[in-house]
Amino acid sequence: MPARTIPNPTHIAPSASILRSFAHDFAISNLTVGLVLRSPPRTRSNQPMDKIGIGLIGCGTVGSGLVRNLPLANPLLEERLGIHLEIRGISVRDLSKPRASLPLQPVSDWKKVVADPRVQILVELVGGTEEAFHIAEACLKAHKPLVTANKALLAERGQELIPLAQKHATPIYYEASVAGGIPVLKALREGLVANQLLGLHGIINGTSNYILSRMAEAGSDFATVLQQAKELGYAEADDRLDVDGIDAAHKASILCLLAYGFLPKFSEIPVEGIRKITAQDVTFARQLGYIVKLLALVRPVGKEQIEVRVAPTLVPAHHPLASVHGAFNAVGLIGNLCGPVQLTGRGAGPDATSSALLADLAEAAKNVRDQSPGPLFPKVDRKARLIPSGDSVGRFYVRIEVEDRPGVLAQVAGIFGSEKIGISSVLQPEGHGAGSVPLVFLLEPCSLSSLQKAVAQIQRLPNTRQPAMILRVEDLT
């Protein structure tokens, strides 16, 4: 088949014929497909092959996975799109670091890759926010589409990056930034575009989900399972991004942007990690009919407020999220037309992330070939604000360690009642030594500020032993 190389497109406004052609497109995003098919199909026999040059900035675990999987994906891209992706530039920070075989000699200066006229699409995989922002800025100013898996860049620097992309009318593709091989962003942008979203929730950090799953299965404590996760490669040596909820909060910000056109200020998002979770909390939750998960939640509250939070949360044992084990991810949402939907799959790892990166590269290459505008960010001028965490209303699990004496339960219940907080369930297990006993409460809906006020009073009782454990409860639909 004859091959042709597509030059860098000059930036043009979409013609009416191009816009009309979008009506014939449909998207299939899957772990192995992630491609955009066009009607009528181009085949090897009736169309020339278009070679699209890509540049790779960063070649660590994810970048190496992309290099390894690209030759496997290219036959599919050729058959289904008439496109062949060709790596024409690679930059890495450390040229002396041993690496798997690369298709060409890397350079240390990423600016050379951006400036290379043979490179039409850039893939940023350096991580972090500072250098990554400068890379993204250079790509957009050069009118070269950017593909990235960098959720921190979008969540923390999106307020600067989005106007830049809009100013230069150059798209950023970021499917790989949330939930790895699960095509949740494409679902929000395309398949659910006609739905008003009533809320989103998800397990979007595989490390934390692996740890909580193992704690539930083995009855082990957090520290033991965390060490096992590091030995097995499920947790990084520096585990703070995963275990303390920061990674999940980055992804929740991006989901909020796509779902509601609002990018929250990252520092204002309430974030709790899973370090405080004990084996007995996991056991008590199960006895009450719940499973503990690190849950990201995004939902509108009235017309002008949006709740975004990440916290260890009790979810019903019968809910589909409760059956998401190990390092798997899942995102659930509720649309006014489609009802509840849940997408589940591998949320991390070089292969799952490659699936999302290749899907974005396929879409970007198609748009470069057709000189079509890619997907720009939604408008982010929505007049909304994050709901203050103290105003957040919901159900809660509270565990209090008290002296094993008569009347203590009545005292604690009386304080909850004085703050107009109802109690739906109580567990009073046998004491576990030293004269103390846990009291476990499932509460009716109340504001977090009211609960904190009540707990502060309870902690001042002479019979309480340890700081109270407070976990959220979500009875998901």
The 3-state secondary structure of 312-330 reads EEEEECCCHHHHCCCCEEE
Distance CA 206, CA 247 (A): 10
Distance CA 295, CA 217 (A): 19
The answer as to whether 232 is a domain residue is yes
CA 106 to chain centre: 30
pLDDT value at residue 44: 47
Q: Does residue 444 have a pLDDT over 90? A: yes
- pTM for the predicted model, two decimal places: 0.87
- Identify the band that residue 434 occupies on the pLDDT scale cut at 50, 70 and 90: low
pLDDT value at residue 43: 47
Residue range of the domain that includes 457 = 389-473
The answer as to whether 375 is a domain residue is no
pLDDT value at residue 23: 36
Question: Phi and psi of 440, rounded to 5°?
Answer: -120, 125
For residues 309 and 269, membership in a common domain is answered with yes
Distance CA 119, CA 116 (A): 6
For residues 177 and 104, membership in a common domain is answered with yes
pLDDT value at residue 372: 87
For residues 176 and 219, membership in a common domain is answered with no
Contact between 317 and 292 under an 8 Å Cβ cutoff? The reply is no
Peptide bond into 406 cis (omega under 30): no
Rounded to an integer, the average pLDDT of 398-410 is 92
The answer as to whether 379 is a domain residue is no
- Identify the band that residue 46 occupies on the pLDDT scale cut at 50, 70 and 90: low
Active site residue 111: no
pLDDT value at residue 392: 93
Q: Does residue 80 have a pLDDT over 90? A: yes
Distance CA 147, CA 54 (A): 10
**Predicted confidence (pLDDT) per residue in 221-238, tens digit:** 999 999 999 988 888 888
Catalytic pick from 144, 251, 293, 366? Answer: 251
For residues 261 and 338, membership in a common domain is answered with yes
- Identify the band that residue 10 occupies on the pLDDT scale cut at 50, 70 and 90: very low
For residues 283 and 397, membership in a common domain is answered with no
The answer as to whether 148 is a domain residue is yes
- Identify the band that residue 24 occupies on the pLDDT scale cut at 50, 70 and 90: very low
For residues 104 and 154, membership in a common domain is answered with yes
pLDDT value at residue 381: 61
pLDDT value at residue 118: 97
CA 13 to chain centre: 32
For residues 321 and 405, membership in a common domain is answered with no
Which range, of 26-30, 159-163, 430-434, 472-476, averages the lowest pLDDT?
26-30
For residues 88 and 73, membership in a common domain is answered with yes
**Predicted confidence (pLDDT) per residue in 281-295, tens digit:** 999 999 999 999 999
| Residue with the two structure tokens 């290379």 | 116
The answer as to whether 186 is a domain residue is no
For residues 204 and 267, membership in a common domain is answered with yes
| Mean model confidence pLDDT for the chain | 88
pLDDT value at residue 221: 94
pLDDT value at residue 395: 98
For residues 122 and 239, membership in a common domain is answered with no
Rounded to an integer, the average pLDDT of 326-346 is 96
pLDDT value at residue 432: 58
pLDDT value at residue 423: 97
pLDDT value at residue 41: 46
pLDDT value at residue 8: 55
pLDDT value at residue 373: 83
For residues 101 and 164, membership in a common domain is answered with yes
**Predicted confidence (pLDDT) per residue in 231-274, tens digit:** 888 888 889 999 999 999 999 999 999 999 999 999 999 999 99
The answer as to whether 243 is a domain residue is yes
The answer as to whether 382 is a domain residue is no
pLDDT value at residue 65: 94
The answer as to whether 248 is a domain residue is yes
Q: How many domains does the chain have?
A: 3
